[in-house]
């Protein structure tokens, strides 16, 4: 079965589709021993794909975790500054990643998985999956602060 390389890399739990495209463009991906630097299709049954010199394959066992993320953790797999990540909160052998984002100072429901397909279906803007956030703030925001918040 043919599949675009970034989708295959995401299915293997290595990176999101967008990050997978970056890996390809950075020259970190090989297909059947040949370095690729553009998006190609791979045969999921017979092609051998490597990322950073390691052969990758789709995860056999899919993992889905609902996590009540506490404050003081970042929503990431790794952090360049050594801060605690949501991955530090779970103990699974599979390589998982968070779906979506919650800020360092926020808490709430976060999904973690090794299933790139479901992650893409939940996060991609074209799917229009609604997300609800409830925020508590100190004091009463001014009209200008509310307008600034609405503008991003």
Give tens-digit pLDDT for 28-50. Answer: 999 999 999 999 999 999 999 99
Active-site residue flag, 105? no
Q: Which of 103, 105, 115, 130 is catalytic?
A: 103
Asked if 27 and 5 count as a contact pair (C-beta separation under 8 A), the reply is no
Please state whether beta strands 49-51 and 54-56 pair in parallel, antiparallel, or not at all (unpaired).
Answer: antiparallel
Largest CA distance in the chain: 61
Q: What pTM did the predictor assign? A: 0.64
Domains and CATH numbers, the chain: 2-56 (3.10.290.10)
Rounded distance between C-alpha atoms, residue 37 and residue 28, angstroms: 8
Give me the residues of the chain with pLDDT under 70, please: none
Chain centroid, CA 144 distance in Å: 34
Residue 119 token pair: 């992650």
Predicted confidence at residue 136, as pLDDT, reads 81
Q: What is the pLDDT of residue 104?
A: 93
pLDDT value at residue 27: 95
Hey, is 135 helix, strand or coil?
coil
Q: Report pLDDT for 149.
A: 84
Residues facing residue 51 across a β-bridge: 29, 54
């Amino acid at each position: 079965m043919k599949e675009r390389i970034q989708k295959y890399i995401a299915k293997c739990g290595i990176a999101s589709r967008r990050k997978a495209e970056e890996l390809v463009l950075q020259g970190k991906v090989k297909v059947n021993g040949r370095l690729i630097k553009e998006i190609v299709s791979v045969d999921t049954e017979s092609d051998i794909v490597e990322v950073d010199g390691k052969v990758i394959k789709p995860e056999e066992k899919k993992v889905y975790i609902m996590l009540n993320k506490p404050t003081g953790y970042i929503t990431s797999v790794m952090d360049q500054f050594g801060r605690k990540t949501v991955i530090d909160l779970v103990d699974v052998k599979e390589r998982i990643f968070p779906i979506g984002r919650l800020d360092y100072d926020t808490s709430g429901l976060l999904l973690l998985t090794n299933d790139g397909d479901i992650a893409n279906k939940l996060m991609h803007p074209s799917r229009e999956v609604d997300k609800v956030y409830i925020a508590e703030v100190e004091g009463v925001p001014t009209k200008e602060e509310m307008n600034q918040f609405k503008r991003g």
